[in-house]
């Protein structure tokens, strides 16, 4: 059996980093770890070929070679996934699909031969068994949640690591919280289910032996979902593994990490230097409305700064469009982002994802538009009829983006961050590609860019005041360029 594992193209979004990755000569952020894990679950005799349309094209030769195409995608890849499915269908290749897009909205893809939904550890073996017997069904789904303690190491050898900015792996699934706009708990449950430390070491060893030395992203729904297990098991093991290596890690956590100084210390010692946190809003009413209990009653700016001073660079997610939002929320979001020094601030309009509590409530209230959930946090669209009014909400949203990614405000915020941040013991080591990125940014941002005055002023200040953070400062100026380009595309 010849199998194509196809990952559709990702559009230009906040998290695509397309405008930034070209500075280090990379084609995409990360390979599709889900597909690579599925590849490891397939029968060993099968021939497998990864076609990641982030970095390559699907050729006629690929289609002629293949007996089957297995496709995984997120909602933001909906249109690209449909194009792939249509092309495979016309070529007479059986299509098998799975992943978040197809689990959330399977009815939109009529040309698909087989849907293997929910968690592949449970549904893929059923499909493979029926396929071998010649009686494969149309849909395989489950309401159960898998133990992931037997999930295999992804087949990294299928990916061309030279094309990517970072690698991804997963320690746990699920989140103990129940934010009503989030699809994580409906897809993966409230209980944090974790791999063993031995599994994680096997995945890291595979990456290390393959020559990977760059950033590695733990793509957990909430890495600290089980803090006790992290402290007692995984983090001590990672600290020991890091000796003589120094592989830098990033992950996603909830803001209550700031309450646990021991956990923060262990994470930093284990190699974590960056965390993404869903901050959402400075409005207490907005947090209560979306059931974001873990963020309520806190000094969120102080929490962010506490993590920064401990050696964790905080990236933040922010949302506009809660029912309780008034026109004052736009300036409040701007003020929070600027004062906190959250350099990488993703601000999006609230969207109702099928399967969430928010979607169910708004459906009952008749407040969903005909527009599909886009999956793009920063495209300025929403499928919700806003209490504020659609036009007022969009104009306020554009105002926020114009402000926080304008060169003057972005570089001011970046300097605020650099003042606070304590360099952790493990960060990405300098390589030739980083020198190239500095030289290219010196031209594109420092000479040709409209931010050239702010660029050189910031780097001069960093060189004399926080020299140990100079490489990070350069990297973040390049990220700021990407964010501004992405935001400007949505401001027309």
- DSSP secondary structure, 191-244, as one string: S-EE--HHHHHHHHHHHHHTT--S-EEE--S-TTTTHHHIIIIIHHHHHHHTTT
Tell me, yes or no, whether 307 and 440 share the same domain.
Answer: no
The β-bridge relationship of strands 345-349 and 313-320 is parallel
C-beta separation of 159 from 150 below 8 A: no
Tell me if 356 is assigned to some domain. Answer: yes
The percent of residues in the chain predicted with pLDDT above 70, rounded, is: 100
Q: For residue 446, which of 462, 436, 434, 457 has the smallest C-alpha distance? A: 457
The β-bridge relationship of strands 249-253 and 272-280 is parallel
Tell me, yes or no, whether 9 and 75 share the same domain.
Answer: yes
Give the residue from 390, 420, 450 where a domain finishes. Answer: 420
Q: For residue 186, which of 223, 145, 219, 225 has the smallest C-alpha distance? A: 145
C-beta separation of 96 from 127 below 8 A: yes
Tell me, yes or no, whether 58 and 12 share the same domain.
Answer: yes
Tell me, yes or no, whether 267 and 129 share the same domain.
Answer: no
Tell me, yes or no, whether 245 and 386 share the same domain.
Answer: yes
What CA–CA distance (Å, rounded) separates 344 from 317?
9
Tell me, yes or no, whether 206 and 108 share the same domain.
Answer: no
Q: For residue 276, which of 299, 253, 307, 304 has the smallest C-alpha distance? A: 253
Give the residue from 140, 174, 201 where a domain finishes. Answer: 140
What CA–CA distance (Å, rounded) separates 158 from 47?
11
Q: What is the CATH number of the domain that holds 35?
A: 3.40.50.280
Q: Find residue 347's DSSP bridge partners.
A: 318
* Sign of the torsion angle spanned by Cα atoms 114, 120, 126, 130: positive
Average pLDDT over residues 278-285: 98
pLDDT above 90: residue 374: no
pLDDT above 90: residue 108: no
What CA–CA distance (Å, rounded) separates 44 from 383?
44
Pick left, alpha or beta for residue 294 (phi over 0 → left; psi -120 to 50 → alpha; otherwise beta): alpha
Average pLDDT over residues 405-430: 97
Q: What is the pTM of this model?
A: 0.96
Q: For residue 167, which of 156, 158, 157 has the smallest C-alpha distance? A: 156
pLDDT above 70: residue 125: yes
Tell me, yes or no, whether 400 and 438 share the same domain.
Answer: no
Helix (H, G, I), strand (E, B) or coil at 174: coil
Tell me, yes or no, whether 119 and 47 share the same domain.
Answer: yes
Tell me, yes or no, whether 447 and 308 share the same domain.
Answer: no
Average pLDDT over residues 452-477: 98
Average pLDDT over residues 418-427: 97
372 — pLDDT class (breaks 50, 70, 90): confident
Greater model confidence, 377 or 100: 100
How far does Cα 150 stand from its chain's mean position?
24
Pick left, alpha or beta for residue 117 (phi over 0 → left; psi -120 to 50 → alpha; otherwise beta): beta
What CA–CA distance (Å, rounded) separates 357 from 221?
18
Tell me if 153 is assigned to some domain. Answer: no
Q: What is the CATH number of the domain that holds 311?
A: 3.20.20.70
- CA-angle at 163, arms to 57 and 41, nearest 5°: 75
What CA–CA distance (Å, rounded) separates 128 from 134?
10
What CA–CA distance (Å, rounded) separates 23 from 241?
31
Tell me if 154 is assigned to some domain. Answer: no
Q: What is the mean pLDDT of the chain?
A: 96
For 484, how many CA atoms within 13 A lie in the half-sphere containing its CB?
Answer: 20
pLDDT computed for residue 375 by the predictor: 77
For 215, how many CA atoms within 13 A lie in the half-sphere containing its CB?
Answer: 20
pLDDT above 80: residue 123: yes
Tell me if 309 is assigned to some domain. Answer: yes
C-beta separation of 156 from 36 below 8 A: yes
- Residue 310 vs residues 50, 154, 220, 295, 305: alpha-carbon distances, Å: 39, 32, 21, 20, 9
What CA–CA distance (Å, rounded) separates 402 from 219?
29
Mention every residue, 6+ apart, whose C-beta is less than 8 A from residue 304: 258, 277, 279, 314, 316, 340, 341, 342
Which stretches of 224-340 are DSSP H helices? 227-229, 235-241, 261-270, 284-289, 300-310, 329-340
Tell me, yes or no, whether 370 and 449 share the same domain.
Answer: no
Tell me, yes or no, whether 444 and 354 share the same domain.
Answer: no
Helix (H, G, I), strand (E, B) or coil at 109: coil
pLDDT computed for residue 492 by the predictor: 60
pLDDT in tens, 178-213: 999 999 988 999 899 999 999 999 999 999 999 999
C-beta separation of 74 from 375 below 8 A: yes
Average pLDDT over residues 385-397: 95
Range of the domain at 256: 166-420
What CA–CA distance (Å, rounded) separates 376 from 347?
11
pLDDT in tens, 61-94: 999 999 999 999 999 999 999 999 999 999 999 9
Tell me, yes or no, whether 242 and 108 share the same domain.
Answer: no
Q: Find residue 4's DSSP bridge partners.
A: 49, 69
pLDDT above 90: residue 225: yes
- Indicate the number of domains in the chain: 3
Tell me if 161 is assigned to some domain. Answer: no
Helix (H, G, I), strand (E, B) or coil at 50: strand
pLDDT computed for residue 343 by the predictor: 98
Tell me if 160 is assigned to some domain. Answer: no
pLDDT above 80: residue 491: no
Helix (H, G, I), strand (E, B) or coil at 88: helix
Give the residue from 420, 441, 459 where a domain finishes. Answer: 420
pLDDT in tens, 28-50: 999 999 999 999 999 999 999 99
The percent of residues in the chain predicted with pLDDT above 90, rounded, is: 94
Tell me if 159 is assigned to some domain. Answer: no
Largest CA distance in the chain: 69
Tell me if 425 is assigned to some domain. Answer: no
Average pLDDT over residues 415-433: 96
């Amino acid at each position: 059996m010849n199998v194509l594992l196809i990952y559709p193209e990702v559009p230009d979004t906040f998290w695509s980093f397309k405008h930034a990755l070209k500075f280090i000569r990379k084609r995409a952020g990360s390979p599709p770890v889900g597909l690579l894990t599925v590849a490891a679950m397939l029968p060993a005799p099968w021939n497998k070929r990864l076609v990641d349309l982030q970095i390559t094209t699907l050729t006629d030769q690929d289609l002629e070679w293949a007996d089957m195409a297995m496709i995984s995608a997120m909602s933001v890849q909906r249109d690209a996934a449909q194009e792939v499915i249509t092309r495979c269908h016309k070529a007479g290749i059986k299509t098998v699909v799975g992943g978040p897009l197809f689990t959330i909205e399977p009815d939109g893809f009529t040309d698909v031969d087989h849907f293997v939904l929910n968690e592949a550890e449970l549904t893929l073996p059923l499909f493979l068994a029926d396929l071998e017997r010649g009686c494969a069904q149309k849909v395989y789904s489950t309401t159960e949640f898998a133990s992931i303690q037997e999930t295999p190491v992804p087949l990294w050898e299928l990916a061309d690591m030279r094309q990517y900015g970072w690698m991804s792996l997963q320690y746990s699934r699920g989140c103990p919280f129940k934010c009503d706009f989030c699809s994580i708990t409906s897809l993966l449950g409230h209980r944090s289910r974790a791999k063993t430390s031995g599994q994680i070491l096997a995945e890291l060893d595979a990456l290390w032996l393959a020559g990977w030395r760059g950033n590695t992203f733990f793509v957990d729904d909430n890495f600290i979902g089980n803090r006790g297990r992290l402290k007692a098991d995984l983090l001590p093991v990672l600290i020991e593994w890091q000796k003589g290596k120094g592989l830098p890690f990033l992950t996603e956590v909830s803001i209550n990490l700031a309450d646990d100084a021991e956990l923060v210390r262990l994470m930093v010692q284990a190699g974590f230097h960056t965390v993404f946190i869903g901050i959402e809003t400075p409005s207490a009413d907005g947090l209560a409305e979306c059931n974001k209990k873990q963020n309520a009653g806190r000094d969120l700016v102080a929490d962010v700064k506490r993590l920064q001073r401990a050696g964790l660079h905080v990236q933040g997610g922010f949302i506009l469009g809660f029912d309780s939002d008034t026109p004052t929320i736009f300036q409040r979001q701007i003020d929070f982002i600027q004062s906190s020094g959250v350099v990488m601030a993703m601000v999006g309009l609230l969207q109702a994802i099928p399967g969430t509590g928010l979607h169910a409530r708004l459906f009952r209230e008749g407040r969903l538009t005909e527009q599909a959930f886009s999956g793009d946090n920063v495209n300025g669209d929403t499928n919700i009829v806003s209490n504020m009014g659609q036009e007022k909400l969009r104009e306020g949203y554009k105002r926020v983006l114009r402000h926080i990614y304008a060169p003057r405000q972005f570089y001011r915020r970046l300097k605020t961050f650099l003042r606070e941040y304590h360099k952790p013991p493990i960060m990405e080591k300098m390589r030739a590609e980083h020198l190239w990125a500095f030289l290219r940014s010196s031209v594109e941002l420092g000479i040709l860019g409209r931010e050239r005055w702010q660029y050189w002023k910031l780097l001069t200040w960093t060189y004399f005041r926080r020299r140990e953070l100079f490489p990070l400062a350069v990297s973040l100026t390049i990220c700021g360029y990407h964010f501004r380009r992405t935001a400007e595309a949505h401001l027309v």
